Amino acid sequence: MFYPKVRIMERRKKVLLALDRLCRSKVPKDQMEVGCTAEEVARAVGIARSNASGDLNYLVREGLAVKFPGRPVRFVTRKYWEESKARNGREETGNLAIQEIEMNPFTSLVGWNLSLKVAVEQARAALLYPPHGLHTLLIGPTGSGKTLFARTMFRYAQTLGRVTGQAQLVSFNCADYAHNPQLLMSQLFGHVKGAFTGANQEKPGLVDAAHRSILFLDEIHRLPPEGQEMLFYLMDSGQYRRLGETGSYRSCTTLVIGATTADPHSSLLATFYRRFPVVINIPALAERPLAERLLLLKQLLAGESRQIGRPLKVTAEALRALLIYNCPGNIGQLLNDIRLTCARALLDATSKGNREVVITLASLPPHVQPRFAAEENYLHELAGLVLEEEWYIEPGEGGVAGTCQVPNIYTLLDKDRGDNGVDGIKSEAQWKRARQVLEEYYHRYLKETVQDWKNARLRLARLVGQDVVALAQEAVKIAREDLPGHVDTNTFLALALHLNACRQRLKTGQKIVNPYLEEIAKEYPREMEVARKVMALIEKRLNLALPTDEAGFLAMLFRAGRQGKEPVGEPVGVVVMAHGSRTATSMAEVANKLVGTNAALALDVPLEGEPQQWLIEATRVVRQADRGRGAFNFLG
């Protein structure tokens, strides 16, 4: 028995070494191909594919490898994965970061990288710990989301291979039978025939069902002392007896996740409490930032829209009231208040014969109605949020997919054209206004809003889809290669959101019209050239027929991305004009190289030609060089 076990361990070492070697030498065929398959590892080691698959899954359970679900399933060594994340950095968009979404269900939780960041890190560490994870206790007030957090832990355990593919999360609320301790323990551990009055036959308990899975016990402080003693013996030894059983012990391998609203030091036996190496605090809703509450609102409202099968329109006043009212029952109460609000608004819409359900201040329960004192408490946070005038939610919108409050360029320009009457003849002032709208979109809506959820790339695939994420990566790569100067890291996020808005707009039959296409083509020729390349890529990958006007929007976005900083901090533009074929170009290149910028533009003026023609060209180049602080013109 000893020698076969040694050979298996040696084989697993070879599999680990081969996997690491393959990960470092393999060149992916496309953006989404990361890691190696069991078949590739099997060929490298010279073993059967079934053995390689079993060994790889063992390495995942031991925390030595990372598994990416899909067809086929792929693996990387944890060492390679951690090195790649560190090498790519937090501000870069790498393949591994995108793949991590598939194996990290925690990214679906609102606040996973803000108010829940520590809790998520603790949960992941608990589940990764060999061989089966660490027992965990969740502490938080009623309605704070402990049950959802436990379910997410189970999903993460599935991706790690900690539980089998067919296993289910076994949940039990100890408060349901708190009045009858004997029945409660029977539900948990099962009983034998004759264990108590009415026990006419043997019955397995929830512990049996949780073998090789996770047992989630809500309101665990309602367990009687004898039940806590039986449970901590199971947690210590992996053995238990059914109620009334006196023979040998039964075996069970399970991870226990407990949840409580009470102080564990006073409600649990000290010996039982010590059996939980990991204790996670889930914050109350009042302790979480308003930015997260805003996302929660959209998520919950989207769910109600799907439930009633009708679109919802939420006025700005109602949204503000839902955002800041006192909600002591936390997310659970917030959900109930939203349901009551939707029910009242639905009744009003039905009585008027309207399909659209409009939520106004009148739809809100009395305790949700706005109060001046409550708003005063949140003045600072409200100032940092970007709130739209109203929300419109279609029944088909996903909760997380609808949580981004970043308006798209189409919406902003449409609104600006309507507000300023730009519907026909265009003027220079209107074109300047359009450029200002873009700058506000890029710098305010993207930079300020997105800073509330760092590591945005991890949420991006759930927001817009992996196909759009991969496409945005390729498009940014084209822009960085073809455009001089720096295309900043926010361009990737901006482009992914824009591509998603473009696809949705075309699918719903809305037109894409850019009234400033001619001006953009004249002032930003290099950006337009890149935009046309990206358009061809979009049409091929997303199977869309894009109108010519879309190139203007893409060019404006790339232009904003090249600027990188706020307009106030931009350098003064420089234009060098001189007679000759390359005189001005050479001077500008040397100046840019010495200063380390691309602020100097060149205009080589031949001796022949009409002066009026070159005056028009000089005006165009000066406008192009002006980034908001004017431009110097040097004549040679």
pLDDT at 564 > cutoff 90: no
Mean pLDDT of 169-189: 91
pLDDT of residue 102: 46
pLDDT digits (tens, 9 = 90+) for 133-173: 999 999 999 999 999 999 999 989 988 878 876 789 999 99
pLDDT tens profile 319-340 = 889 998 999 999 999 999 999 9
- Is 103's pLDDT higher than 60? no
CATH code given to domain 119-282: 3.40.50.300
Predicted pLDDT at 388: 53
pLDDT reported for residue 287 = 92
Tell whether the model's pLDDT for residue 34 goes beyond 90.
Answer: no
Candidates 86, 77, 64; CA nearest to 35 is 77
Of the candidate CATH numbers 3.90.550.10, 3.40.50.80, 1.10.8.60, 2.60.120.620, the domain formed by 287-389 belongs to: 1.10.8.60
* Contact criterion met (CB below 8 Å) for 470 and 31: yes
Residues 6+ apart with CB under 8 A from 162: 61, 127, 132, 133, 255
Residue 124 has pLDDT above 70, yes or no: yes
What percent of the chain lies above the pLDDT cut of 90?
Answer: 30
Ordered by start, the domain boundaries in the chain are 2-88, 119-282, 287-389, 409-563, 571-635
Torsion of CA 421, 425, 426, 428, to 10 degrees: -110
Give the model confidence (pLDDT) of 489-539 as tens digits: 567 777 887 887 787 777 767 778 887 788 888 888 888 999 999 999 888
Helix or strand run (H / E) with residue 174: none
User: What average pLDDT does the segment 10-34 reach?
Assistant: 76
Question: What is the CATH T-level fold of the domain 2-88, as seen in this structure?
Answer: Arc Repressor Mutant, subunit A (1.10.10)
Is residue 217 over pLDDT 60?
yes
Q: How confident is the model at residue 61 (pLDDT cuts 50, 70, 90)?
A: confident
| Interatomic CA distance for residues 498 and 504, integer angstroms | 10
pLDDT of amino acid 42: 92
Between 181 and 629, the higher pLDDT residue:
181
Beta carbons within 8 Å of 19's beta carbon, 6+ residues apart: 36, 41, 56, 59, 65, 75, 76, 77
> What pLDDT does 175 receive?
92
pLDDT at 29: 45
Q: Are 78 and 56 in contact (CB under 8 A)?
A: no
Question: Higher model confidence: residue 483 or residue 22?
Answer: 22
- Residue 328 pLDDT: 92
pLDDT at residue 359 is higher than 50 = yes
The tokens for 257 are 């996740």
Note the pLDDT tens digit of each residue in 203-213.
999 999 999 99
CA–CA dist 58, 68 (Å, integer): 14
Both tokens of 490, joined, read 């926010």
> 222-233 pLDDT, tens per residue?
999 999 999 999
pLDDT at 101 over 60: no
Across 42-51, 102-111, 437-446, which has the greatest mean pLDDT?
42-51
Q: What's the CATH code, domain 409-563?
A: 1.10.1790.10
Alpha carbon distance 217, 173 (integer Å)? 6
Task: Quote the pLDDT of residue 90.
Answer: 40
Q: Which of 88-97, 259-268, 592-601 has the highest mean predicted lDDT (pLDDT)? A: 259-268
